[in-house]
């Protein structure tokens, strides 16, 4: 089990899968020859340095995100907050430069970037992770909320909600955000109710039941 992220996710519509399987660290002179679609090929030389190649994926061309993408803080961030966030981001970048295969750290970096309103930086990381780790729901869930509530791209939001819920069928928070997306972004009451009904069948959540029962009263 991996450690929980230090940043709270709920307030930023961000999710983190705390049950990620960690791969063992490679031995020097070892070679990862997995070239299956959607994975990063990593070759390790005798000097311990990584050579990284993104295996082409049908239907898209997702590049490894630039780790040293500059952070531009808005006026809303105090100097103290800027120093703190920059330190966290730098630590995450350093960890990935040491070992770029760590899914947890990519997720951490994306959430940190989103926290400082670097939506494009977060988007690039999560899109990358949907290609390299397609079995993980958290990148899809985060992209869904990012596209829905921040980047205002409903079509891509819907695609990612659908992908996330195929994997995380029991996650109440994703069902709720999907409901909010259909109700308040798409303005589609029928789809919003259908989403709540599907979520209730999957999770038996009292929260989702309340939202459905009081649908007409809630705004």
**What one-character-per-residue DSSP string does 156-187 give?**
HHHHHHHHHHHH-TT-HHHHHHHHHIIIIIS-
**58 in the Ramachandran plot: left (φ > 0), alpha (ψ -120 to 50) or beta?**
beta
Tokens of 100: 């770029």
Nearest partner of 157 among 172, 177, 137, 171, judged by Cα: 177
Residue 1, CB half-sphere, CA atoms under 13 Å: how many? 4
10-168 — its CATH code? 1.25.40.10
d(CA 200, CA 95): 40
Q: Name residue 2's beta-bridge partners.
A: none
pLDDT of residue 118: 96
Contacts of 20 (CB under 8 A, 6+ apart): 2, 103, 104, 136
Alpha carbons 69 and 73: distance in angstroms, whole number: 13
Domain boundaries in the chain?
Answer: 10-168
pLDDT tens for the chain, residues 1 to 219 = 333 333 333 334 555 543 333 333 333 333 333 333 333 443 444 554 444 343 333 345 567 899 999 999 999 999 999 999 999 999 999 999 999 999 999 999 999 999 999 999 999 999 999 999 999 999 999 999 999 999 999 999 999 999 999 999 999 999 999 999 999 999 999 999 999 999 999 999 999 999 999 999 998
- Is pTM beyond 0.85? Reply is no
CA 4, 148, 182: angle at the middle one, nearest 5? 110
**Tokens of residue 169, six digits:** 């069928």
Extended strands (E) in 38-187: 40-44, 50-54
């Amino acid at each position: 089990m991996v450690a929980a992220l230090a940043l709270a996710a709920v307030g930023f519509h961000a999710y983190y899968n705390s049950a990620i399987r960690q791969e063992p660290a490679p031995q020097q002179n070892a070679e990862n020859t997995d070239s299956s679609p959607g994975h990063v090929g990593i070759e390790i030389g005798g000097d311990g340095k990584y050579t990284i190649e993104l295996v082409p994926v049908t239907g898209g061309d997702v590049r490894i995100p630039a780790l040293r993408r500059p952070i531009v803080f808005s006026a809303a961030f105090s100097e103290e907050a800027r120093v703190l966030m920059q330190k966290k981001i730098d630590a995450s970048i350093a960890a990935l430069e040491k070992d770029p295969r760590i899914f947890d750290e990519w997720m951490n970096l994306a959430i940190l970037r989103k926290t400082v309103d670097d939506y494009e930086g977060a988007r690039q990381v999560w899109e990358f992770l949907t290609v390299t780790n397609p079995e993980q729901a958290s990148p899809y869930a985060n992209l869904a909320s990012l596209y829905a509530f921040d980047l205002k791209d409903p079509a891509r939001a819907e695609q990612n909600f659908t992908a996330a819920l195929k994997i995380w069928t029991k996650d109440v928070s994703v069902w709720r955000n999907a409901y909010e997306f259909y109700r308040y972004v798409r303005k589609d009451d029928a789809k919003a109710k259908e989403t709540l009904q599907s979520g209730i069948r999957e999770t038996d959540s009292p929260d989702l039941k309340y939202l459905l029962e009081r649908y007409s009263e809630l705004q």
